[in-house]
Structure 1
Amino acid sequence: MTDHARDLASLRDATDRLLSAAAALDNAAVTEPSRLPGWTRGHLLAHLARNADALVNVLQGRPMYASAEARDADIERDAPRPLDVHLADLRESAERFVRAADAPADWSRTVELRNGVTDAAARVPFRRWIEVALHHVDLGIGYELEELPPKFTERETAFLADRFTGRPDVPATRLTDGTRAWSTGRAADAPEVTVAGRPADLLGWLSGRRDGAALTAQGGTLPVLPPL
């Protein structure tokens, strides 16, 4: 069962960690490429701030973004800002999200995100935690997938495996880190491929952040995953 209050506490820790790490940058570093193709670190910081406000919209029953074009335009507008402006915006938007997520509410209700995706309101803090944690890694400033909290890595691996479940373009696949196991891909009587590796490598492959070279595949080749 999702504990939104616990996830909110974990989100606060992840946000503080990100803000502390980003504060060690300078204006020049903000303009340098991130690990996401086509985005600078400034794009990532701008996206994180606007995503916090977008999730406030979700919790309060408004559309997440006015449009895909408006979302992209806001990120492009804000990306070149100086570091201190990015940090203030990220801190203030994070606080707005926490206030919205702390307010008494029916956490079992269904909310709508982007592109018609729906979820329980109680899962929104975890979705925000995903954004903060993985994009901290994407900044390329020394924080790696191996440093993510183990419980986060386990939950996000399960979350991503679920996203690929039933996809006809992904073979039936069993994932394992040697301790836990997940199933994903199209339905089959038995998994066609078993993919094994360290938790960080599995998460990196599922999230498109690693190529899977550190994983082993038995019963077939490593599946090619479609973009998230």
Structure 2
Amino acid sequence: MAMRPGLDKIIDDCRAAGSTLGDVVGTMSETQLREPSALPAWSRAHVLAHLTNVGDAAARQVEYAARGELVEFYDGGRAARDSAIEADSALGLADHQQRVVRMLERLAAAWPESGSPMWEQPVTFREGTVTDVALMWWREIRIHLLDVDLGVDVESWSEDFCRHLFDFLTPRLPAGGYVELRPDDSAPWRFPPASVADDETGWLVVRGPIRDVALWLAGRQPRQMPKAARDGQPVDLPELRPWPAARG
């Protein structure tokens, strides 16, 4: 299984992604805000509304955890989340710009210090810890920066991030099978984990550039569609199961 990088490296990449988001939003026009994003049925305003809301929700999880308290990720659950995205997507460009800046500042202030035991403090998000909140934000900002579709491309995804997606998105792979993701430009990744010496009969192998495999697994359009084979014979790419649902 892919191992995630250290938390310091993850938070540094989140900060870098936040800086990129600020630059993108700061130079966006009102027309561009209303144009379609790379996500079906969502404008760029919808993506920004979602990113701002999820960033604020992440910060709130950490702020409550610092007080030894638990709070729901979204007050009102999924329905309230969806309503907020629709309502906030109608805001003007200046409001979106200000909200993004405030959200990023709030998150920066919320993250614990490097090495702090606070990283293992429980939260309601996925019944996990503050570390799980950081990983969630890493996924959200890196993936949705691409969805904004204004000059940020998949080359902004590090190999560490791609391998984290492989790990997190395991539930999307076909149930009950043996799957190897075999990037052309990186080491193979297997689920369930197995050594190279194990019998390879029956393994479904999906291969392509690591970022394209990660895009496919994340439900985004790869630049070059990965190819699948079983026992050396080409087969169709498997149908992916739903995105892993949060429990909190």
- Which structure is richer in relative contact order (CA contacts within 8 A, separation 6 or more)? 2
Q: Which residue of 2 aligns with 1:31?
A: 34
Give matches, 1:1-228, under 5 Å.
3-59=6-62, 60=64, 61-66=70-75, 67-102=77-112, 105-113=117-125, 117-160=126-169, 162-164=170-172, 168=175, 171-178=177-184, 179-184=186-191, 191-210=202-221, 214-219=225-230, 220-228=235-243
Give SS of 1:38's match.
Answer: coil
- Give the aligned CA root-mean-square deviation in angstroms: 2.4
Equivalent-residue separation in structure 1 for 2:130 and 2:84 (angstroms): 25
Moved more, 205-214 or 14-23: 205-214
> Based on CA coordinates, which of the two structures has the bigger radius of gyration?
2
**How much does 1:97 deviate?**
1.7
Give SS of 1:74's match.
Answer: helix
**How much does 1:130 deviate?**
1.3
Deviation digits for residues 84-128 of structure 1 (CA, Å, limit 9, x no counterpart): 210110110121122111365532233222xxx233322322221
Structure 2 unaligned regions, length at least 5: 65-69, 244-248
The alpha-carbon distance between structure 1 residues 213 and 5, as it changes in their structure 2 partners (threshold 3 A), is closer
**How much does 1:184 deviate?**
3.6
Structure 1 unaligned regions, length at least 5: none
Moved more, 217-226 or 30-39: 217-226
Aligned residue pair count: 220
Percent of aligned pairs with the same amino acid: 26
Equivalent-residue separation in structure 1 for 2:13 and 2:222 (angstroms): 28
Q: What TM-score do the two structures reach when normalised by structure 1?
A: 0.86
Give SS of 2:238's match.
Answer: coil
Q: What TM-score do the two structures reach when normalised by structure 2?
A: 0.79
